């Protein structure tokens, strides 16, 4: 293994296979590998904050321990650190792995993304003058996060004394939950409302979460009135986010809305060649065309195929030909299949929406919010998994068959008479299936 960073990719892959997608995105995706000391068998990783570190150690240390042992073939002791206090004016955490590559120079422009790319360049040069907010939407893997990173870097080049805050909407929700629990909402507001550039990824996930929407509404207003630039990304336009509050939909459409579509053939070829070039790697034309003809809808998959092809060549001495590309694509396609929707994943998303915990939903607590969240969870579990009522009852704290039937009937009746609940349930189901 050449570096801890390379090993970390394998460790992350193992963890993804052991926990739900929601848990991975919430607690693992923002971790950073710091150092690996083979002399003392200690690996050091960094969590974004103290709360994150404590939750990770309490709930997922076993998973990480198994992952390290699987990758290195021996037990490795884990040390988790948090960043030291940073100056007020600092670039936001990188929005993605390999973020050093995510600039305007490395973004491959084609007919499918030219408008969004041009809009991002414009706001990086003249923030809060032309398009505020800038709302970019499109399916996963098409380059939205790349553009956010590119804007961040260009903005700080142009305005080095200003601040950038980047956040995934799920992390924003988690920070609100933490701030409410710890009584630190003033500090949270100061963090976001003092930004000169606010970048929010996957903003569709705040829909249906009342406290999150309330906080974000006031944050948006504060920044917009102060003429600070806001950029949002989503998998769909504001009007199609069913349980997003109307006042937020209106504000999201105040500026410019730009979509990104899947790349055409020529753009896919350019993406493959650009990625290979960045890795000091040459791919024959027929191999590039083979990959481009089979991976058509996701930039991330195209880049992943190049990485896998290079790994086969360097580590296994395989030739760079169509046969090797076929193996690389097969791995990429298999790895990119949606993970099975689990009960845990459903309960975690419902809990996030209603600002309760998964433990609350499975408990015997009976307050109104928890009871509603529990009924919604039961209904969605039944709709998505088609588990039997008895199996669902066992999953929800050993409840009997009649209790589950009652919850289902209550939800079915409520969905018929309450459009808001219906929209909330549909958005939760869409969010679960899109992860």
Instruction: Please report, for the domain that includes residue 125, its CATH number.
Output: 3.40.50.300
What is the pLDDT at residue 257? 93
What is the pLDDT at residue 94? 45
Distance CA 340, CA 344 (A): 11
pLDDT in tens, 5-41: 878 888 888 888 888 776 787 788 889 999 887 777 7
Report the CATH number at residue 366: 1.10.1750.10
Q: Clarify whether residues 275 and 251 are in a common domain.
A: no
E strand or H helix that includes residue 331: helix 322-335
Q: What is the mean pLDDT of residues 91-109?
A: 65
Q: Clarify whether residues 254 and 230 are in a common domain.
A: yes
pLDDT in tens, 359-394: 889 888 888 889 999 999 999 888 877 778 888 888
Instruction: Let me know if residue 92 belongs to a domain.
Output: no
Q: 């296979």: which residue's tokens?
A: 17
pLDDT in tens, 145-170: 899 989 999 999 899 888 888 988 88
For residue 222, is pLDDT > 90?
A: yes
For residue 92, is pLDDT > 60?
A: no
Q: Clarify whether residues 317 and 429 are in a common domain.
A: no
Q: Clarify whether residues 149 and 198 are in a common domain.
A: yes
Lowest mean pLDDT among 40-44, 175-179, 336-340: 336-340
Q: Where are the beta strands (DSSP E) in 150-246?
A: 164-168, 197-201, 229-234
Q: Clarify whether residues 245 and 113 are in a common domain.
A: yes
The domain boundary residue, chosen from 259, 286, 318: 259
Instruction: Let me know if residue 27 belongs to a domain.
Output: yes
E strand or H helix that includes residue 286: helix 285-294
Q: What is the mean pLDDT of residues 61-80?
A: 84
What is the pLDDT at residue 91? 44
What is the pLDDT at residue 333? 65
What is the pLDDT at residue 100? 54
Report the CATH number at residue 43: 3.30.300.180
Report the CATH number at residue 308: 1.10.8.60
Residues 6+ apart with CB under 8 A from 323: none
The domain boundary residue, chosen from 259, 275, 295: 259
Q: Clarify whether residues 120 and 245 are in a common domain.
A: yes
Q: Clarify whether residues 193 and 208 are in a common domain.
A: yes
What is the pLDDT at residue 131? 92
Q: Clarify whether residues 207 and 301 are in a common domain.
A: no
Q: Clarify whether residues 108 and 250 are in a common domain.
A: yes
Q: Give the pLDDT band (50/70/90) at residue 334.
A: low
What is the pLDDT at residue 433? 67
The domain boundary residue, chosen from 310, 335, 360: 335
Q: Clarify whether residues 325 and 215 are in a common domain.
A: no
Instruction: Let me know if residue 211 belongs to a domain.
Output: yes
CB 90 within 8 A of CB 83: no
Residues 6+ apart with CB under 8 A from 280: none
3-class DSSP state of 396: coil
For residue 73, is pLDDT > 80?
A: no
Point out which residues pair with 63 in neighbouring strands: none
Average model confidence (pLDDT) across the chain: 84
What is the pLDDT at residue 341? 62
| Structural domain count of the chain | 4
Instruction: Let me know if residue 90 belongs to a domain.
Output: no
What is the pLDDT at residue 317? 79
Instruction: Let me know if residue 91 belongs to a domain.
Output: no
Q: Clarify whether residues 218 and 145 are in a common domain.
A: yes
3-class DSSP state of 356: coil
Surface-to-core class of residue 329, CB atoms within 10 Å of its CB (0-12 exposed, 13-18 middle, 19+ buried): buried
What is the pLDDT at residue 223? 93
Distance CA 113, CA 267 (A): 10
Instruction: Let me know if residue 206 belongs to a domain.
Output: yes
Instruction: Let me know if residue 105 belongs to a domain.
Output: yes
Q: What is the mean pLDDT of residues 250-257?
A: 92
Q: Give the pLDDT band (50/70/90) at residue 331.
A: low
CA dist 314 → 39, 308, 309 (Å): 28, 10, 9
Q: Give the pLDDT band (50/70/90) at residue 90.
A: very low
Q: Which domain holds residue 368?
A: 343-434
Q: Provide long-range contacts, Cβ within 8 A and 24+ apart, for 122-131.
A: 123/151, 123/229, 123/231, 124/150, 124/151, 124/154, 124/155, 124/158, 125/154, 125/158, 127/155, 127/159, 127/196, 127/197, 127/228, 127/229, 128/227, 128/228, 128/229, 130/256, 131/255, 131/256
pTM for this model (two decimals): 0.59
Distance CA 205, CA 228 (A): 23
For residue 340, is pLDDT > 70?
A: no
Q: Clarify whether residues 131 and 224 are in a common domain.
A: yes
What is the pLDDT at residue 424? 85
Q: Give the pLDDT band (50/70/90) at residue 136.
A: very high
Instruction: Let me know if residue 19 belongs to a domain.
Output: yes
For residue 220, is pLDDT > 70?
A: yes
């Amino acid at each position: 293994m050449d570096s801890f960073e390379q090993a970390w990719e394998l460790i992350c892959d193992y963890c993804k296979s052991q926990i739900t997608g929601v848990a991975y995105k919430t607690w693992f995706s923002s971790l950073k590998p710091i150092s690996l000391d083979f002399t003392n068998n200690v690996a050091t990783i960094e969590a974004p904050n103290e709360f994150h570190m404590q939750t990770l150690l309490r709930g997922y240390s076993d998973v990480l321990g198994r992952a390290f042992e699987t990758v290195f073939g021996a037990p490795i002791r884990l040390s988790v650190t948090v960043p030291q206090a940073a100056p007020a004016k600092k670039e936001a955490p990188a929005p993605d792995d390999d973020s050093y590559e995510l600039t305007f120079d490395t973004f491959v422009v084609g007919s499918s993304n030219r408008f969004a790319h041009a809009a991002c360049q414009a706001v990086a040069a003249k923030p809060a003058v032309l398009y505020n907010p800038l709302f970019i939407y499109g399916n996963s893997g098409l380059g939205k996060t790349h553009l956010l990173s590119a804007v961040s870097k260009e903005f700080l080049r142009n305005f080095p004394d200003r601040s950038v805050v980047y956040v995934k909407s799920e992390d924003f929700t988690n920070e609100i939950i933490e701030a409410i629990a710890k009584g630190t909402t003033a500090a949270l507001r100061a963090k976001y409302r003092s930004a000169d550039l606010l970048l929010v990824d996957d903003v569709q996930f705040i829909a249906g979460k009342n406290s999150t929407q309330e906080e974000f509404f006031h944050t948006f207003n504060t920044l917009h009135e102060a003429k600070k630039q806001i950029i949002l990304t989503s998998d769909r336009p504001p009007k199609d986010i069913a349980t997003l509050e109307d006042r937020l939909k209106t504000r999201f459409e105040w500026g410019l809305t730009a979509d990104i579509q899947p790349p055409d053939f020529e753009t896919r070829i350019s993406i493959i060649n650009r990625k290979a070039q960045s890795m000091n790697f040459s791919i024959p034309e027929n191999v590039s065309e083979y990959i481009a003809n089979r991976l058509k809808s996701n930039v991330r998959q195209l880049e992943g195929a190049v990485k896998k092809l290079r790994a086969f060549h360097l580590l296994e001495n395989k030739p760079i030909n169509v046969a090797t590309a076929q193996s690389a694509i097969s791995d990429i396609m298999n790895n990119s299949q949606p993970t099975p929707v689990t009960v845990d994943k459903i309960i975690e998303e419902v809990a996030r929406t209603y600002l309760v915990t998964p433990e609350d939903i499975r408990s015997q607590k009976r307050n109104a919010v928890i009871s509603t969240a529990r009924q919604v969870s039961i209904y969605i579990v039944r709709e998505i998994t088609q588990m039997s009522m008895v199996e669902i009852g066992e999953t929800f704290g050993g409840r009997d068959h009649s209790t589950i039937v009652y919850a289902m009937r209550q939800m079915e009746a409520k969905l018929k008479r309450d459009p808001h609940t219906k929209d909330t349930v549909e958005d939760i189901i869409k969010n679960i299936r899109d992860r």
